[in-house]
Structure formats: structure tokens, C-alpha cells
Amino acid sequence: EISEINPESWRGLEESLQNLNLAENAISHLPGSVFSTLQNLDYLDLSGNAIMDFDPSVFAGGPPRLVRLNLADNQLKHIPYRQVSSLKLLRHLDLSYNMITQLHSSGTSEPEHSGSQLSLDTLHLDYNNIQYLPPGAFQHFNILNHTFLNGNPLALVQTDAFRDARIRELSMVDCGLQEISPSAFSGLEATLQLLDLSGNNLTSLPPHLLQEFDFLRTLYVKDNALFGLSSQEQHDTGFQYSLYRLDVSGRTNAPMAIQQMRRMRNLRWLKMSRLAKASLTSDDFNEFGVDLEELHINDGGLQKISAHAFKHIRGLKRLDLSDNSITNIDYDAFDEIGHSLIQLRLSHALSASIKQVPGDALRPLGSLQHLDLSHNKLQTMPETAFHFLRRIRTIQLEDNSIENVHKGTFQGDIHSSLEELYLSFNKLGAINTHTFVDLSQLTRLHLDDNVISRVDRRAFVNLEHLRVLDMRGNKLSFISDEAFQNLPELEDMDMAY
């Protein structure tokens, strides 16, 4: 392990060295001008050492082109403002996993002019010991595009803590926050675009957060203890136009009605968990904007998807209903999004009472490209279950109890775009003649960990682009002659027990 470095350590590398990695050594002190001769150094990694302090002149004279400095996982107690202020091109500073307790500089006065302030694209202060942010906490920074304070034990964020900080993306995940004052983010109204408050203990949000931050596009508040999106009653008749992405998921947030989100007229991505009721109906999305493209309802307690449930959000492209216990999907539940939906995830979503692939409900989804029905209790697949999915590219059926794949379930003239098919961890006992035939675009076929004992003649035929065939973990005792016909690109076939 390296414990000491000095300017002579880089003799002969002054003009060529661009990346220097000194991570995971035993360096405890950085002497003055130790890197000043490295004229072209762009990236310096000093993470995982035992650095407790810097010589004030450690970066005096350079490296003049240093852009990225990693000081994570050391023993720093203060942010080294004075030392790094001479690095005029520095844009990425990582000080995570140190022992920093405050953002004020230690033993230095405030910058006397803006030229001594830092302008960074990324500042990582994750998992230090910062307990409060006083007014002007970021006074030593001119620009901070992406700021990460995750994992600090923040007890208090005072008014004007972010004054003049010009932060564009702010992450305060897993900080133990129980309350945020209405003026906590004052000063960021004109710049803040992303705010991540996930993994805290918040019961409400500042009421003006969704009204006065006109540039806020993304808000993540998953895994809190929220009773709603505002501490005020939901009687505001105005609309909120800026927010594009909202995550209120997590088992610790209180059940919420989807209708709480209806006034976010430009919402494009929504993720929720515990719903206020166990069914999805068209009324849930009444008055929603037309821009919603992606909807996740995971661990939401869903039991029923009613007819025409999505008729008010006809542009939906991706729908994830995983981790529910759905007992019924009406055959016309997806009618209005059949032209737009390209991805449907129902992994671990269906009740054990649903034993058959819900082919009738899938029938309208003519544009679907990715279907995930994994981790359910499905036992049978009707021969026509996927016959209306003419654009399907990936089908995931792994970890069910499917016992048979009927001839004609997958057809070359229908499934001409099918690239990947996953049937792992089912109860398939045999692969019959012409089970997989003429699937011209199929590249991966996973049949591993079933109970397949027999592969019949011409079971796999004309799979011109198949590269991976996984049959590992079966009970193969008989493979017929000519079981595999015209698989010219097959590269990987696993039949190990």
C-alpha cells in the first residue's frame, strides 16, 4: 500500500498522464503542489485512503486541466474549499463517505469575490455526518447542477439554506427527514428541475412546492410516510403544469387515490404503490392529461382491472402492474391503449386463482413489443393466447407452472418479430414436433429448469437467427434424430443437468 506521495513520484509523466488512480491505499496527507507538474491530468482518484487533511497549497499550480476529483471514503472533516478553488476546470467533486459535519469552510473566511466560488456539475456529499443546513450553506458555490446529500442524518433544513445555490438536481435520499419547512428550498425556484426525497420519514410536502417551482420536472418521494402530496387539503382548483415524473411508491406511504394526481396536466411518468381501492376503473384517470406515457402501480393491492380502465390515458406506452394480486382482468380492459402500449409487465401480479394466460385481455394489444407474465401461477396457455400480438419481440413466462406448449402457439407468420422467449422454471415435460418452427427473428430461447425428458423429431425447425438455446437443468432422457433442423446461427446450447 502506498502511504506517501511527492512531486517527484510523477517524474517523466508530466505531459502524458491523464488519469491517475491512487484508490484504496494508505495515504493520509497530501503535501503541497504534489500534482502540479501533471499538466494534462483530467481525472484523479484518491478514494479509499486515510486522508485527514490537505496542505493548503496541494493544488497550487495545478493540475490545471483537472475535471474530476474523487476523495470519497477518506477521513475528511471539512470541505477543502481553499485547496480546490484553484482548480478552475474542476466539474465533478466526490466527497462522499467522509466525516464532514457541515458545509461551512473550516478556518477560512467566506470568498471575497465570486471568482473564488466553485462551479461544479456534480457534487457528492453522500453518507457524511451533516445534520443541518443553515442559511447560506452553499455560499461557497456558484453553480451546482447535480447535488447529492444522500444518507446524511439531516435533522433541519433552514430557510435560505439553498440561497443562490443554482442547483438543478438535488438528491436527499435516506436522510431521516421527518419534516420540511415551507421555505426549505427557497432560492431554487428558478433552477430546480429534479428533487429526490425518497427513503425519508416525511408525512407531507411543503404546500407551495408544486405551485411555485415552475421548472420542477421530476419529484421522487417513494418510501416515506406520506398521507398525500400536500399538507393542505386537496381543494386547490388550479393545475400544475411543470411536473413530468412523479414517484410516490413504497409500502410506508399511506394509500393514495390516483385522482390526487389528475391536476398534474403534463405528467408523463407516474409510479405508485398502495392504492385507496383495489380496482382500476376509467374514473381513476378522469381529467388526466394526454401526455401520460408510463404508469407503474406496484404492490398496490390491485385485484381487478375493469373494462375500459385506461380510456382517459390513450397514449400510454408502458404499463407495469407487477407485485399485485389481480383476480380479474376484463376482456376489454386494454381496448383504448391497444394502439399505443408497447410494454406490459404483470410479473408476480396475478392471483393464484388465475391459472391460464389471459389471452382475451391481451387481444387488443396489437402494438405490444414486450410482455412479462413471469412469477405467477399460470398452468396453461391457450393456443391462440398470443396470436394477436403481431409486433411482440419479448415474452417472459418464466417461473410459472406451465406444463405444455401447444403446436401453433408461436407461429412464424404471426410472430415474425419475436426475438426472445423465456419459459424457464416451469413444468414442461416434453418438446413436441413443430413446437418452435419458422420463428425467423428468434435469437434466445430459454427452456431451462423444467422437467423436460423428451425432445421429439423436428421440435426446433427453421430458427434462422437462434443463437442461444438453454435447456439446462431438465431431465432429458431422449432426443429424437433430427430434433434440431436448420439452426444455422446457433452458438450456445446448454443441456447440462
**Tens-place pLDDT, residues 95-135:** 999 999 988 754 444 343 444 688 999 999 999 999 999 88
CB atoms within 10 A of CB 437: 19
All cell numbers assigned to 254 = 399511506
Question: Which of 322, 152, 307 minimizes the C-alpha distance to 249?
Answer: 322
pLDDT of residue 192: 93
Asked whether residue 262 is domain-assigned, the answer is: yes
Domain match, 364 and 452 both = no
Asked whether residue 238 is domain-assigned, the answer is: no
pLDDT of residue 263: 86
pLDDT of residue 118: 87
Last residue of a domain, one of 336, 355, 375: 375
Q: What percent of the chain has pLDDT over 70?
A: 95
Mean pLDDT of all residues in 208-237: 76
Residues of the chain by 3-state class (helix, strand, coil), percent to 5: 5, 20, 70
Asked whether residue 428 is domain-assigned, the answer is: yes
pLDDT of residue 164: 83
Asked whether residue 97 is domain-assigned, the answer is: no
Asked whether residue 247 is domain-assigned, the answer is: no
**Tens-place pLDDT, residues 150-165:** 999 998 888 888 888 8
Domain match, 357 and 412 both = no
Domain match, 360 and 462 both = no
Asked whether residue 269 is domain-assigned, the answer is: yes
Is residue 187 pLDDT above 50, yes or no?
yes
Q: How confident is the model at residue 209 (pLDDT cuts 50, 70, 90)?
A: confident
pLDDT of residue 165: 87
Asked whether residue 301 is domain-assigned, the answer is: yes
Q: Domain range spanning residue 462?
A: 403-496
Asked whether residue 291 is domain-assigned, the answer is: yes
CATH number at residue 368: 3.80.10.10
Domain match, 264 and 327 both = yes
Domain match, 283 and 321 both = yes
Question: Which pTM does this prediction carry?
Answer: 0.90
Tell me the pLDDT of the chain averaged across its residues: 91
pLDDT of residue 282: 94
Which of 57-66, 201-210, 228-237, 273-282: highest mean pLDDT? 273-282
CB atoms within 10 A of CB 236: 13
* Burial class of residue 32 in the structure, from the number of CB atoms within 10 Å of its CB (0-12 exposed, 13-18 middle, 19+ buried): middle
Domain match, 414 and 483 both = yes
Q: How confident is the model at residue 423 (pLDDT cuts 50, 70, 90)?
A: very high
CB atoms within 10 A of CB 120: 19
Residues 6+ apart with CB under 8 A from 208: 182
What total number of domains does the chain contain? 2
Is residue 286 pLDDT above 70, yes or no?
yes
Is residue 143 pLDDT above 90, yes or no?
no
pLDDT of residue 116: 66
CB atoms within 10 A of CB 373: 27
